[in-house]
Chain A
Amino acid sequence: MNMIEINKLNKYFGDLHVLKDIDLKVKEGEVVSVIGPSGSGKSTLLRCLNRLEEPSSGDIIFEDISIMDDEQHDINELRQKMGMVFQQFNLFNHMNVMENITLAPIKLKKINKNEAKKIALDLLEKVGLLNKADAYPSQLSGGQKQRIAIARALAMSPDVMLFDEPTSALDPEMVGDVLEVMKNLAAEGMTMVIVTHEMSFARDVADRVVIMDAGNIIEEGNPKKIFNNPEHPRAKDFLSRVLNLF
């Protein structure tokens, strides 16, 4: 079953045509990595999925519901089922870790405080930060912040997780911890769309890799095929550049 179906999605920023007739499907339980040069529209595509960015035209179907249909469906309720993790973490600076994680479940799902805390502790254990429940974001390293941000998103028990370069702002020695958490999520069957520069992660963990260039999806398919045998010249060009870094 398709969890997300993107049909003829276009996005303009003023005159700038950033997404050009994008079609993409994400199946339930699938892990899709989106790669491509900087400025190719990866973040914009991801942010259109929960309408942090307003699509200019086209449609996005999420669990058989058009997220563009404001009359029938409240976008805020749809967003509860789509967790998002940002490059810059965006933890709530004025709240401690526990409050960061429990705020949305308490306010939006009307879960009582104690239960929300129990869920939060389980998630903290899962991301390996049980001892940081009382810490404030300013007291955490980048890698810890990002793992908390993942826990915060998971606390809403979303059906899909959207990651926008979750490790790009991290010191190299922190990247592994975050990728580990994401790997475990994937293994549990979470549906994930991951914009990333981590080619080895895309190769090893993703079920499917999508390459974007200048607002188009120029190639997609199984990671082995994409990395060993890309067809599109721009895809070859991009991969040869990034894979040389390894």
Chain B
Amino acid sequence: MDFSFLADYKGFFIRGTQITILLAFFAVLFGILIGIVLAMFKISSNKFLKGIASVYIEFIRGTPLLVQLFIIYYGLPYLGIEFPDFPLFGQNVGDFMAGVIAMSVNSGAYVAEIFRAGIQAVDKGQMEAARSLGMPYLMSMKKIILPQAFKNILPALGNEFIVVIKESAIVSIIGIHDLMYNADTVRGNTFKPFAPLIVAAVIYFVITFTLSKFVGLLEKRMDTE
């Protein structure tokens, strides 16, 4: 197979990789914020909040990411919420935002389950001891439960980051110049059906493999603590 096109096109792959990582980073970041709130709702004793969180989580996990992406990309402007339309570093900011929002909304549901499981894995005696000393619920959560839950949560969040990087290829559909989109552009320009996609696949793999090794290390360190 001939990879000589890389000489001319390597910039496409580099910029695409940057966009992919940036997108995944923001998606997980906002996903964590959404996820923490949902997890708190889910474990609260308030039936209404619990219900909201359950519906959100079930709905997001039960529908394709592509549908969610289109609902946000086409649906929000239809409802009068316009995305900005100007380029930054060669990437349309509005498209990028739509991608980040869709991915965060999606990831939030999964992160919520990660947090819920992590929190519920902490012995319930810890919360009782904190409350018995007179610490309010949120203080107990923040000072006692979450720091211990983090041990279980951190590696799982690393895995979620890996999943998001892979799934993010789908946002190329709305014109975000991520790794997938740029690889496809190179394929069109060079009339090579195969090699540019192989390059993209290898880059995705190197990123996710490195990350999963890192997560593995993290798990080991958390275990020995």
Interface on A for B, CB 8 Å cutoff? Answer: 50, 52, 76-80, 82-84, 86, 88-94, 103-104, 107-108, 149, 152-153, 156
Contact A107 B143 (CB under 8 A): yes
Contact B129 A108 (CB under 8 A): no
Question: Of A78, A89, A90, A103, which is in contact with the most chain B CB atoms at under 10 Å from its CB?
Answer: A90
Contact B148 A156 (CB under 8 A): no
Given contacts A92-B144, A94-B147, contact A104 B126 (CB under 8 A): no
| 14 intermolecular pairs with C-beta atoms under 8 Å apart | A52-B131, A78-B134, A79-B132, A86-B125, A86-B132, A90-B125, A90-B128, A90-B129, A92-B126, A92-B130, A104-B133, A104-B135, A107-B139, A153-B133
Q: B90 contacts the other chain (Cβ, under 8 Å)?
A: no
CB of B118 to closest CB in A, whole Å: 13
Report whether over half of chain B's contact residues are helix, strand or loop; otherwise say mixed: helix
CB of B133 to closest CB in A, whole Å: 4
Return chain B residues, CB-CB under 8 Å to A153. Answer: 132-133
Contact A76 B148 (CB under 8 A): no
Q: How far is the CA of A93 from the CA of B152 in the complex (A)?
A: 14
- Besides the known contacts A82-B132, A90-B126, A104-B135, 8 further A-B residue pairs in the complex with CB atoms under 8 A apart: A78-B134, A79-B131, A80-B133, A80-B134, A86-B125, A91-B129, A94-B144, A94-B148
Contact A152 B133 (CB under 8 A): yes
Q: How far is the CA of A76 from the CA of B136 in the complex (A)?
A: 6
Q: How far is the CA of A107 from the CA of B147 in the complex (A)?
A: 16
Q: Which residue of A lies closest to B144 (CB)?
A: A92
CB of A180 to closest CB in B, whole Å: 22
Return chain A residues, CB-CB under 8 Å to B139. Answer: 107
Q: Which residue of A lies closest to B139 (CB)?
A: A107
Q: How far is the CA of A91 from the CA of B128 in the complex (A)?
A: 10
Q: Which residue of B lies closest to A53 (CB)?
A: B128
Q: Which residue of B lies closest to A88 (CB)?
A: B125
Q: How far is the CA of A182 from the CA of B143 in the complex (A)?
A: 29
CB of B88 to closest CB in A, whole Å: 42
CB of B154 to closest CB in A, whole Å: 13
Please give the number of chain B residues whose Cβ is less than 8 angstroms from any Cβ of chain A in the complex.
17
Residue in A89, A91, A103 whose CB lies within 8 Å of B143: A103
Return chain B residues, CB-CB under 8 Å to A82. Answer: 132
Contact A93 B143 (CB under 8 A): no
Residue in B131, B136, B148 whose CB lies within 8 Å of A93: B148
0/1 string, B122-159, CB within 8 A of A gives 1: 01011011111111100100011001100000000000
Given contacts A76-B135, A80-B134, A107-B135, contact A86 B128 (CB under 8 A): yes
Q: Which residue of B lies closest to A100 (CB)?
A: B129
CB of A46 to closest CB in B, whole Å: 11
CB of B139 to closest CB in A, whole Å: 7
Given contacts A93-B148, A94-B148, A103-B143, contact A108 B134 (CB under 8 A): yes
Q: How far is the CA of A79 from the CA of B128 in the complex (A)?
A: 11
Q: How far is the CA of A108 from the CA of B135 in the complex (A)?
A: 7
Return chain A residues, CB-CB under 8 Å to B128. Answer: 52, 86, 90
Given contacts A92-B144, A93-B148, contact A156 B133 (CB under 8 A): yes
Return chain B residues, CB-CB under 8 Å to A77. Answer: 134
Q: Which residue of B lies closest to A81 (CB)?
A: B134
Q: How far is the CA of A91 from the CA of B148 in the complex (A)?
A: 12
Return chain A residues, CB-CB under 8 Å to B125. Answer: 86, 88-90
Given contacts A90-B126, A92-B126, A93-B126, contact A52 B134 (CB under 8 A): no
Q: Which residue of A lies closest to B129 (CB)?
A: A90
Those 10 A-B pairs whose CB atoms lie nearest each other, nearest first? A80-B134, A90-B129, A90-B125, A84-B132, A79-B134, A104-B133, A76-B134, A94-B147, A88-B125, A76-B136
Return chain B residues, CB-CB under 8 Å to A108. Answer: 133-135
Q: How far is the CA of A4 from the CA of B204 in the complex (A)?
A: 66
Return chain B residues, CB-CB under 8 Å to A152. Answer: 133
Return chain B residues, CB-CB under 8 Å to A76. Answer: 131, 134-136
